[in-house]
Structure 1
Amino acid sequence: MDVKKYLSDYSEEADLYLSNYFSQKRKEASGIDPLTVNVLNTLENFIQGGKKVRGALTVLGYKMVGGKKIDDILPVSCAIEIMHSSLLIHDDFIDHDNFRRGKPTVHRIYAKENSEHYGASIALIIGDVGIFLSNQILADSSFNPKLIIRAFHEYEDLLVNTGYGEILDIAFDKKTSISWDDILKIRKYKTAHYTFVMPLTVGAVLGGADSRVLSGIKNYGEPIGIGFQIRDDILGVFGDPKVTGKSNESDIKDGKRTFLSTKAMELVSSSDKEFLKKYYGSKGLRKKEVIKIKNIIKTSGALEYSQNLALNLAEKGKKYIHKVSKDEGSQKILAEFANFVVTRDK
C-alpha cells in the first residue's frame, strides 16, 4: 500500500475518533468555564491538521506483531497524536515560530487576545493538558493491564529522552559553534526516538511483542527518525511554504542550528563562512541576504550531502525490517515509510 494512502486512511479514522473524543471532553469541561471549552477546541483544531505519522505507526506497530483489536489500538494511536501536537505547541513557543501547518501557532493565537506573556502561558498549559489527556487515554485503554504498564514504561522512557533532546537543542543553540556530532545527538534524542521508535514500540508492546522485536524497532527507527529530521531541516530552508505550511526563511532568520547550516559551515570558503557568521540568525535580515545564504548552503554541497545522508539513513534502517516483523505486508509498508519520510515535500 502507498504510504500516502495508508496515512490518509488512518487520518480519516483518527479524525473521527478525535472529533467524538473532544466532543465528550468539551461536555465535561463546559461546566467549568467557556475558556476551558475554547482551549479544547484549539487543541483539537491543532491536532486535526497534522500528517499523523506517529499515530499511523502506532497502529502499524500493533498490527505487524499480530495485533487484531484495531478498535482498541485506535484510541492509543490518537493519544500518541495528542501528545505529539502538545509537544509541538511547546516547541513552537520555544522556537518563536508564528505559523504551523499554515495557521498561527497557539501562543500567537492567544497573544492577540491579550499579551505575549498571556499567549505563551495559555499555550504552555494547553500543551500540558494535551499530555495529561494522552496519558489518560493510554491508562484507560482496553488492553491487558500488564501490557499497558509495560507500554507506559517504554512510552515515558522515550519521552524523557525527547525532553533531554529539547534541552540540548536549547543549550547548544547558545554555543558559538556546534559540531556535526552535537547536531546528531540532538536529533537522535529530540526527534528520532519519539518520531519512529516510540510509536512503533508502544503499538508492538500492546500487541505482545518480545524484547527482540523492540530491539529491531530501535535499530530500524533510530536512523530513519534522524533522516526524518534531516528532511525537515531541508524543507525548512528549501521547501515550498504553500505545501509545508511553514516559512522557508525562519530557520535562517532565527539562526537555527540544523544539519544544513552545520555542514555548510564545514564546507564553505573562508569568505562565505564569514558571511554566514555575520548574517545567519542576525536581526533584520533582508530578503537578498536570505537568498544568498540559501545559495551558499546549496553551492557548498551541504544540501546534497544532507539529502544523501537522509537517504542512506533510510537504507540503514531498512536493513532491520526483518527483525521487526515477519509479515510481508508489514515489511513492505515499513520500507515504504522509510523512503517516504526522507523524500516527502511537507
Structure 2
Amino acid sequence: MTSPLDRAGLRPRVDQALSVFLAGQRARLLSIDDALADVADALEAFVLRGGKRLRPAFAYWGFRGAGGADSEQVVTAVAALEWVQAAALIHDDLMDRSDTRRGEPSVHRRFAGRHKTAGWHGDGDHFGDNAAVLLGDLALVWSDEMLHGSGAGLEALARARTVFDEMRTEVTVGQYLDVLTPVTRDTSLERAAKVARYKAAKYTIERPLLLGAALAGASEQVTSVYSGYGLPLGEAFQFRDDVLGVFGDPGQTGKPAGDDLREGKRTYLIAAAYEKANATDRTELDRGLGDPELDETAVQRLRDIIVETGALDRTEAHIKALYEAALTALEKGDVADEARTVLEELADAATRRAV
C-alpha cells in the first residue's frame, strides 16, 4: 500500500526541490570561502539523507484540500518547512547533548569530529557547539529564502507570511519552555501539554495545514476545520513520540533507548506518572530523570514506574481520544475528497508512527 506521504509523488518532488535549492546555496557559500564546503555538506546530509517530509505533506494536502491546483511552485513552497524542521532538530540535539540523529552523528558531534580529524586548535566540543548554533540559524534563514523564492504568487506568499512567522515563533518559544520545565521541576500535566503543543504539535501539523490553506486562499470555514483537525492530531503525534522516547526501539527511533529519561524531559507521559506515583516512586523519578549516566537497569526501573502508575495506558488513551477528535473535526469541513482521504490516512499513520 502506498504511504500517504508518497501520494502525488510528493516525497521525491520535495527532495528534488530541496536538492535544487541546496545546489544554489552550495555555489553561493563556496563563492564566499572554500571552507564553507563543510557547512554545505553538513546541511545537505542532514536535510537530504533523512526525514519523512511530514510537514510538507500536511501543507501540500492542506493546499489541495482548499482547492489549490498542483504545481512545482507549491511543492517548493511547502518544502521550505524542512528547513524549519532542520533548524529545530539541530538546536534540539545541541540542547539535549544528543550524540546521534537518524542513526548518524548529530551536527554538533559532526563538527567536533571534524575539528579532531583536522587537528585544529582549541576545544573541539566547543567548536562543534558553535557550529551547530550557526547551522541551525542558517537553516531558519534558508526556510524564508526557499518559501519566498518558490515562484508562488505574491498574493499567496503574502497570505502565507503570517502563518509562517507564527509557526517559527511558536516552535522557538516552545523549545524554551521545554528547557525551562526540567529546571523548574514542573511535573504538571498542564505544563507538559503546553510544551507539547508549542514545541511540536502546532508546527508539525496545524501550522503546515494552515500554511497550505493560506497559499490556496482558503475560506475561514476550511481553516477552522484544519485547526480543529491539526492541533489535536499534532498533540497525539507528540505524545506518541514521547512514548517512543522511553519505550521505542533505537533501530526505529535513531536514538539510544531511554534518552528522554536521561535528558530529564517532563513529557505528558512523565507528568502522568508523577500524578499517580507514591512517595517512593516519586523519589526514584526525581533521582533518575535527567541523569545522563542512567544505565539500562535504571532506565528499566523508571519504565516500570511509568507502567505501574498507569501513565502509559493513560497516555495511550489520550492519544486515541485526540486522534478521534481530529477525525471528527475533519468530517465537518468542506475539504476536497482526495485531500480528505490522504489526511485521514496521515492521521492514522502519525498516531501509530508509521510515518
Specify the TM-score bucket, using the shorter chain as the normaliser. over 0.9
| TM-score after normalising by structure 1 | 0.94
AA aligned opposite 2:32: I
1:171 maps to which of 180, 185, 194: 180
1:36 aligned partner: 36
Assess if the C-alpha contact under 8 Å between 1:65 and 1:209 holds in 2.
yes
Query: Where does 1:130-149 land on structure 2 (aligned, <5 Å)?
Result: 130-149=139-158
Assess if the C-alpha contact under 8 Å between 1:237 and 1:249 holds in 2.
yes
Assess if the C-alpha contact under 8 Å between 1:239 and 1:345 holds in 2.
no
Matches of 2:181 and 2:353, distance apart in 1: 28
Instruction: Give the C-alpha shift of residue 5 in structure 1.
Output: 5.5
Assess if the C-alpha contact under 8 Å between 2:100 and 2:255 holds in 1.
yes
1:302 aligned partner: 311
Assess if the C-alpha contact under 8 Å between 1:60 and 1:200 holds in 2.
yes
Instruction: Give the C-alpha shift of residue 299 in structure 1.
Output: 2.3
SS at the partner of 2:97? coil
SS at the partner of 2:320? helix
2:96 aligned partner: 95
Query: Where does 1:42-81 land on structure 2 (aligned, <5 Å)?
Result: 42-48=42-48, 49-81=50-82
Q: What are the Cα deviations for residues 109-133 of structure 1, in whole angstroms up to 9, with x where unaligned?
A: 1122331221111111111111111
Query: Where does 1:172-321 land on structure 2 (aligned, <5 Å)?
Result: 172-321=181-330
Instruction: Give the C-alpha shift of residue 96 in structure 1.
Output: 1.3
Instruction: Give the C-alpha shift of residue 165 in structure 1.
Output: 1.3
Matches of 1:311 and 1:2, distance apart in 2: 24
Instruction: Give the C-alpha shift of residue 307 in structure 1.
Output: 1.2
Instruction: Give the C-alpha shift of residue 271 in structure 1.
Output: 2.1
Matches of 1:5 and 1:140, distance apart in 2: 24
Matches of 1:9 and 1:245, distance apart in 2: 26
AA aligned opposite 2:29: A
Instruction: Give the C-alpha shift of residue 324 in structure 1.
Output: 4.5
AA aligned opposite 1:88: L
AA aligned opposite 1:83: V
SS at the partner of 2:32? coil
Matches of 1:254 and 1:143, distance apart in 2: 41
Matches of 1:45 and 1:248, distance apart in 2: 24
Matches of 1:283 and 1:125, distance apart in 2: 25
AA aligned opposite 1:278: R
SS at the partner of 1:303? helix
Instruction: Give the C-alpha shift of residue 242 in structure 1.
Output: 0.7
Matches of 1:160 and 1:249, distance apart in 2: 29
- List runs of 5+ in structure 1 lacking aligned partners: none
Assess if the C-alpha contact under 8 Å between 1:54 and 1:199 holds in 2.
yes
Deviates more, 1:7-16 or 1:53-62: 7-16
| TM-score after normalising by structure 2 | 0.92
CA distance 1:57–1:83, shift in 2 (3 Å): same
1:18 aligned partner: 18
How many residue pairs align between the two structures?
Answer: 346
Deviates more, 1:272-281 or 1:201-210: 272-281
SS at the partner of 1:37? helix
Deviates more, 1:317-326 or 1:5-14: 5-14
AA aligned opposite 1:35: A
Matches of 2:76 and 2:291, distance apart in 1: 44
AA aligned opposite 1:223: P
CA distance 1:132–1:321, shift in 2 (3 Å): same
Q: What are the Cα deviations for residues 84-108 of structure 1, in whole angstroms up to 9, with x where unaligned?
A: 1111111111111111111111011
Assess if the C-alpha contact under 8 Å between 2:43 and 2:135 holds in 1.
yes
AA aligned opposite 1:44: E
1:159 aligned partner: 168
Q: What are the Cα deviations for residues 278-333 of structure 1, in whole angstroms up to 9, with x where unaligned?
A: 22223532221111111221222111111111111011111111354432222121
2:339 maps to which of 303, 327, 330: 330
SS at the partner of 1:112? helix
Deviates more, 1:292-301 or 1:228-237: 292-301
2:135 aligned partner: 126
SS at the partner of 1:326? coil
Assess if the C-alpha contact under 8 Å between 2:187 and 2:274 holds in 1.
no
Matches of 2:132 and 2:183, distance apart in 1: 24
AA aligned opposite 1:94: M
